Amino acid sequence: MIVLVFGPLYQRIRAEWTAHSIAEDARDIPGLLATLTEDCVYEVVQEEAVWRGHEGATRFYTGLLTAFPDIHFDLQQIVIGPQGVWEEAHVTATHRGDWLGHTATGRAVQFDVLIYFPWDEQRQKFRGERVYFFGLD
């Protein structure tokens, strides 16, 4: 039996993820930071790259949005639960700047990402992101 629960916790997590996504689409870094705990951790797992705190999250987003200024996330799947959000997206962008050892090509690129947003129930914000990406060569 599958039980779906759409109570206040689900609604709160979904609302925060929606606010985060809207801020990202708008390139609104203060809006992004508003959805994160002060001690958030951003990690691109296969690159072993980690950024800590709001200052680190700002560096992560500045680097990402500089490298891919027209980045677009096409949501494929989303799972929302008390642990946070798991998202699968197909990304399209123009690779304008170097990012995590990937040299800018100036060309259109496509790749896929899996992103986990761990939820901090006490602070009602995300504790960062664990990012896995595939197909960016």
Q: What is the pTM of this model?
A: 0.91
Can you give the pLDDT of all 137 residues of the chain as single tens digits?
444 556 888 999 999 999 999 999 999 999 999 999 999 999 999 999 999 999 999 999 999 999 999 999 999 999 999 999 999 999 999 999 999 988 999 999 999 999 999 999 999 999 999 999 988 76
At residue 7, the pLDDT reads 83
- The answer to whether 31 touches 19, Cβ cutoff 8 Å, is yes
**DSSP sequence for 34-60:** TTEEEEEEEEEGGGTEEEEHHHHHHHH
Tokens of 115: 């992103």
Residue 128's beta-bridge partner residues?
41
Question: What is the side-by-side order of every strand in the sheet holding 108-120?
Answer: 49-52, 36-44, 125-134, 108-120, 84-94, 72-81
